[in-house]
Amino acid sequence: MNKKNKFAHKILQHLENHYHSGKWFNRQNLQINKKIFSKIELKKILGISNDNKICVIFTHIFDDATFFYGKDLFESYEDWLKNIIYKIKELNNINWIIKVHPANMLKSNYSLEEKLLDRIIKIIPNHIKIVRPNTPINTFSFFGSIDYGLTVRGTVGCELACYGIPVITAGNGRYSGEGFTIDPKSKEEFYKYIENLGKIEKLNKHKINLAQVYTYGSLVCRSIKMHGINIKYTPEQFIKNNLIKVPKDQDDLMSKYDISKFISWVKNDIKYDLIELNENEISKNI
């Protein structure tokens, strides 16, 4: 196995392990007690009996920092989802899966996304499936089963691209413009991609490599294990309990690896992000 293949294997293994173990965004425990299904199993669960291509629409929490990362094509995450639904109602050549964001389990038993879906889709067409937050399906099940992904700027966009899955964004920020996603510049361009989705091919090796390098840098190297401040909760505890633990002794706090690393980063006015970086490993794979 050459160096590039080893690097690709490392990031793919990292993603798979975290979804398998339920550690991905584990402070929220969003993948706990969820199962990874094969494509055959997934299609059976969702009631998909044809061989049409599959696209998952990864929704955003409507009030989750909508304008934080950059400029959007649509007025809000709600407006984005609503207009997609209106568009795909008649596009029955694709199996559309609307995956409601799992973090809604922390906020409500009936999310704003679900209220919107139930309001504008009175009778769900056979080519549209809805996956609700309390689904038993682990998100990683989609990585080996789908052909396309839609998100405004969700983390799943760079993850899917690591597996060669084309992702259409609807706003800049984070990984848009890095060369491995489709980033429409207008609503009209966005709709054209949606209407002709089946013609879009899987990502080539170069774009997959760009995605893997970016994802390794942003999700692995920037994930610094917290020792000084501990945050842990379950969906049931989120509202009721304050589970943020900070050492009471200041000297003890300052001695923690993550705190001391952050202080050093600030004091030295370092121009790049706070990361755990093996520079040789990255540079050999760009």
Per-residue pLDDT tens digits for 125-146: 999 999 998 899 999 999 999 9
Q: Are 53 and 147 in contact (CB under 8 A)?
A: yes
Terminal-residue alpha carbon distance, the chain: 17
Give pLDDT tens digits for 10-52.
Answer: 888 888 887 877 665 554 555 567 899 999 999 999 999 999 9
Residue type for position 168: I
Cα of 79 vs its chain's centroid, Å: 19
Dump the DSSP string for 171-227.
B-STTTTSSSSB--SSHHHHHHHHHTGGGPPPP-HHHHHHHHHHHIIIIIIT-PPPS
- From the list 159, 157, 162, the residue with the least C-alpha distance to 173 is 157
Sign, Cα dihedral of 194, 54, 140, 107: positive
Domains in the chain: ranges and CATH: 3-221 (3.40.50.2000), 230-283 (no CATH)
pLDDT of res. 260? 82
pLDDT of res. 48? 97
Q: Is 6 helix (H, G, I), strand (E, B) or coil?
A: helix
pLDDT of res. 92? 96
**Scanning the structure block, which residue is given the tokens 């917290």?**
226
Low-confidence ranges of the chain (pLDDT < 70): 1-4, 22-32, 64-69, 104-108, 230-245, 276-286
Beta strands in the chain (DSSP E): 54-58, 95-99, 128-131, 148-150, 167-168, 230-231, 244-245
pLDDT of res. 24? 56
